[in-house]
Each structure stands twice: as structure tokens, then as C-alpha cells.
Amino acid sequence: MNLAILSDTHVPSRAETIPSWVESRVARADLVIHAGDFDSPETLEHLRDLATRFVGVRGNIDPPSVNLPYVDIIEVGGLTFVVTHGAGTRTGYASRVAQTVRDAAGRDAIGIAGHIHEVVDEVVDGVRVLNPGTATAANPSDEATMMVGTVEGGDLSVDVVRGD
């Protein structure tokens, strides 16, 4: 199964549109996972329309009309993913996400989060934490990034894709 993992699109407050290269990868994925800060219900609906299958969570700047949970759990190919937006500063960020993952699903789950607009792929206390960065180069980042992944045989491989 092919995944498109993105976060922090911030359309329209910090970016005008989602880059076409991101839209293309979203449309080709079997599953799209978005870790919040869509910025508007229109951005959420646009991504849902592009996706074959979509999972998303609400971020800290999303209005109530982005009617999504703050944490969601999904099973894919024998793996458990806990999707959350994340919170706070970069200091201690991965530990906070790992704690959310453990609280929601235990140590065997993989955490996907956003919020800090930085790419993260690290293991904290046995929990793999992924952050795809910001798909639109939204401030404070100056680079658009997302992750693409493949789940096969109970394993996850992930690559970072940077703006064209």
C-alpha cells in the first residue's frame, strides 16, 4: 500500500494553494494521511476529493468547521498508526508525540504528527515518530515537504519528497 503523508498545508492563511506536485502524489496514493492545520474546511474537502482513502486530524489552527478528531488510529497492512497534530516547541516534541502514541495505542504503533513544520523520522522510547514537515512551505519553514511511504509485509519504508 502506498501512502502520502502530509501536514500543515495552511491554505489560505499562509499559502495560496497546495502545490501541484503534492496534489499529484495525493491523487496517486492508496491512503492519504494528513496531520492537521488544513486552515479551512475547503482545503480539507479538496484533499479528500483528490484522495482514494483519507485520514486526517484537526490541528491547533483549524476552525471548528474542520470537523475531525484531534487523534485518530488507523490499521494499515498489519501496522498501527496514531495520527495527531502535535503541540509545543521543537524541544521535547518527539517525546510528546511518542507519549500520545503510547497513550492511544501502545508502544508498537507509529506516530504521525505535524505542527513544527520540520521533517522528523526518529525513534523515541521505542515509538517511531514521523513528521512530514509542511506541504506548502508555510511559515516558519521555507521548504515544502511531504513523505511518501510503502507498507509491505508489515514494514513501513518512508521517503521525504521536497518541492519541485
Q: pLDDT class for 117, splitting at 50, 70, 90?
A: very high
What confidence score (pLDDT) does residue 164 get?
62
Q: Is the pLDDT of residue 114 over 90?
A: yes
Residue 92 CB coordination number (10 Å) = 11
The pTM score is 0.95
Q: Coil, strand or helix: which one is 115? A: coil
Q: Is the pLDDT of residue 9 over 90?
A: yes
Do 146 and 133 contact (CB within 8 A), yes or no?
yes
What confidence score (pLDDT) does residue 106 get?
79
Q: Which residues contact 127 (CB under 8 A, 6 or more apart)?
A: 97, 98, 101, 102, 107, 109, 110, 111
Q: Is the pLDDT of residue 107 over 80?
A: no
Q: Which residues contact 112 (CB under 8 A, 6 or more apart)?
A: 5, 7, 33, 35, 81, 82, 83, 84, 130, 131, 132
Per-residue pLDDT averaged across 135-155, rounded?
93
Q: pLDDT class for 40, splitting at 50, 70, 90?
A: very high
Q: Tell me: the pLDDT tens digits for 52-99?
A: 999 999 999 999 999 999 999 999 999 999 999 999 888 999 999 999
CATH numeric code, 2-162: 3.60.21.10
Q: Name the grid cell of 147.
A: 513523505
Q: Is the pLDDT of residue 132 over 90?
A: yes
Per-residue pLDDT averaged across 129-158, rounded?
94
Average pLDDT, rounded, for the chain: 95
Q: Tell me: the pLDDT tens digits for 13-38?
A: 999 999 999 999 999 999 999 999 99
Closest CA to 81 of 159, 5, 162, 161: 5
Q: pLDDT class for 47, splitting at 50, 70, 90?
A: very high
User: How do the domains of the chain map onto residue ranges?
Assistant: 2-162
Q: Please, where are the H alpha helices in the chain?
A: 20-28, 41-50, 93-105
What confidence score (pLDDT) does residue 141 get?
87
